[in-house]
Chains A and B, each alone.
Chain A
Amino acid sequence: MLLREVEYARPATVEEAISLLATYDGARPLAGGQTIVNVMKARAAAPDVLVDLQDLGELRTIGFSSDGRLELGATVTYAELMASSEVEVARPILAEVAATIADVQVRNRGTVGGNVCVNDPTNHLPPLLVALDATFTIRGQDGERTVSADEFFLGVYMTAVREGELLTKVSVPASSGAGDGFAGLTIGTHGTYIVCAAATVSGDDARVALGCVAAAPVRATAMEERLAGGDFSEAAVRAAAEGLGASLDPPSDVHGSADYRRHLAEVSAARAVLQAAERRKGA
C-alpha cells in the first residue's frame, strides 16, 4: 500500500530525538512500527515526520535500578522481554504475557513503549503494568519526570506523554515474593482480549486491574479492599469479585455485549487473583 508522504529522521541520541519531536509539527516517534505503520495505512493518523528510535541503545536495555527495580527501556521488544534473564528473575509475568501478544513476527518488532503509548484498550501491557504498580519515565526538553501507572493511562490512545516528549523507560518493582496473575478471554487462542485482568498478590494485599472495559485500565479497588483480609480461598476471591461487573460501563461490540463483558470482568479478575495468590512466596 502506498502511504501518505512522510519525512523520516534517525537520531543518534535521546536528546536529538526529543529535539526533533519538539521542533517539527506532526512528528511522532517510530519504534517497532507494529501499530503506527498500520494506522498510517488506514489513514487513521498521518504523522508528518517519523523519528526512528532504533539507534538509541539506551532505550533498548533491560536492567535494575540501584534500589532493585526492574527497568525496561521503551524500545525493548516483546521477544526481548521473553528472552530476558532479568525479567525471568524479577517479574516473569511480563515474559509470560508478552509471549501471548499477537504472533512471532509482531513480537520480534513490537515494543514495550509502543504497547503502552498506544494505549489501545485491548492492549495487554497497560492493565498488567497497572497491577504491577509500574512507573513511567518521560523525557522532554525541560527534563525528566516519572509518573505512576494510575496517572499514565489517560484514555483511548492517550497517555501522559505529551507532544515533544518521549517515554524512555518503564520501571517495575521486583516481585519480592509477590505472585502475579493474568487471565481473560481472547478471540482465538492468542487473539485480542474481549476482557482481561491482571493481579498481584503480595502478603495480604492484592492489586487488580482490568483491560478492555473502559478507555484506560480500571483498578478494581472495591475488590482489592475486600481481599485485604488475606483470605485467598477460591470462595473468598469469587465473593470479592461480586459486584465488580455492575461498577463498570464496558462497550458492546460484535465480540460481546456490555453485560457479557461485566460478567467476564468478574470471572477474569477472580482467576487472575487466584493465580497470583497461588504463585506468591509461601502460598
Chain B
Amino acid sequence: MGAPERSRVVALEVNGEQVELEVPARRLLVHFIRDDLGLTGTHVGCDTGNCGACTIQLDGRPVKSCMVLAVQVDGAKVTTVEGLASNGELTPLQQSFNAHHALQCGYCTPGMLMSASALLARNPHPTEDEVRYALQGNICRCTGYVNIVEAVVAAGGSA
C-alpha cells in the first residue's frame, strides 16, 4: 500500500506537452500552473472557488483550478488559455471576444474562454440561455455580461 507522502511526482499533459514534476501535496493546481509551469494566463481571482477566473479544462471539462490539488491531476490532460490559440492564430471564440468587445479589464477573460470553449466543444451552436447557464461559474465585474454572452453566441453561429 502506498503510504501518505508530503510530495509526489506528477506526470500530465499540459496544452499538448508532457510535463513531469515533483509537487508538494498542499499545492493548488492554479499555483502549479502559474508558478511551476509559468503559464500565467490562468488567473487567481477570489481564491475561494467563487469567481471562476482560474478555470481550466481538466480532461476536456471546465474546473476551477483553485479547488483542485496539483497531485490530483497526475495522469490527466490539462488545457489552459495558452492552449487555445495555435501558432499565434486566435480561435474563432477568441476572435469573437475581440469583435464583440467582450472584455474590459480582462481579468476574468481566461476563465470565460475556458468555460465557453468547453461549452462550444460539447454544444457547437448554443442559445443565449445555454451560454448563460454555462458561464454561471464565471464572474465578471466590468461588463455586465452582455457582450460576453453575445460573443459566445456569435462564435457558435446562432446569432
Query: For this complex, into which size category does the number of interface residues on chain B fall?
Result: 35 or more
Please judge, given known A-B contacts A8-B71, A105-B137, whether A24 and B4 are in contact too, CB under 8 Å. Answer: yes
- Say yes or no: is A94 at the interface (Cβ < 8 Å to chain B): no
User: Contacts A1-B47, A54-B72, A105-B55: A7 and B25 contacting too (C-beta < 8 A)?
Assistant: yes
**Which residues of A are found within 8 Å of B133, using beta-carbon distances?**
104
Q: Which B residues touch A19, using CB under 8 A? A: 1
Closest to B118 in A: A104
Contacting residues, chain A, for B42 (C-beta < 8 A) = none
Kindly identify, within residues 72 to 125 of chain B, every residue whose CB is under 8 Å from any CB belonging to chain A: 72, 74, 115, 118-119
Are B4 and A38 in contact, CB atoms less than 8 angstroms apart?
no
Q: Are A108 and B62 in contact (CB under 8 A)?
A: yes
Give Cα distance in the complex from A162 to B61, angstroms: 33
* CB neighbors of B among A20-49 (8 A): 20, 24, 27, 30, 33-34, 37-38, 41-42, 49
In the complex, A50 has a CB within 8 A of chain B: yes
Given contacts A52-B72, A106-B49, contact A8 B63 (CB under 8 A): no
Roughly how many angstroms separate A52 CA and B8 CA in the complex, as a whole number? 13
What residue in chain A is nearest B26 (Cβ atoms)?
Answer: A3
Closest CB in chain B relative to A31 CB, distance in Å: 10
CA distance A16 to B1 in the complex (A): 7
Total interface residues in chain A, CB < 8 Å: 39
- Check B137–A37 contact: CB distance below 8 A: no
Is residue B48 within 8 Å, beta carbon to beta carbon, of the partner chain?
yes
B67 CB–A CB distance under 8 Å? yes
Q: Which residues of A contact B61 (CB under 8 A)?
A: 79, 108
Q: How far does the alpha carbon of A103 sit from the alpha carbon of B111 in the complex, in Å?
A: 13
Of A5, A11, A16, A106, the contact of B137 (CB 8 Å cutoff):
A106
Report yes or no: A34 in contact with B67, Cβ–Cβ below 8 A.
yes
- Tell me whether B6 is interfacial, beta carbon within 8 Å: yes
Query: Contacts A8-B71, A50-B25, A108-B61 given: A103-B8 contact, CB under 8 Å?
Result: no
A3 near B64 with CB under 8 A, answer: no
**Would you mind naming 25 contact pairs between A and B with Cβ atoms under 8 Å apart?**
A3-B28, A4-B26, A6-B26, A7-B5, A8-B5, A20-B1, A30-B69, A34-B49, A37-B28, A37-B68, A50-B25, A50-B69, A51-B4, A54-B72, A79-B61, A103-B137, A104-B133, A104-B136, A105-B63, A105-B64, A105-B115, A106-B64, A108-B58, A108-B63, A190-B136
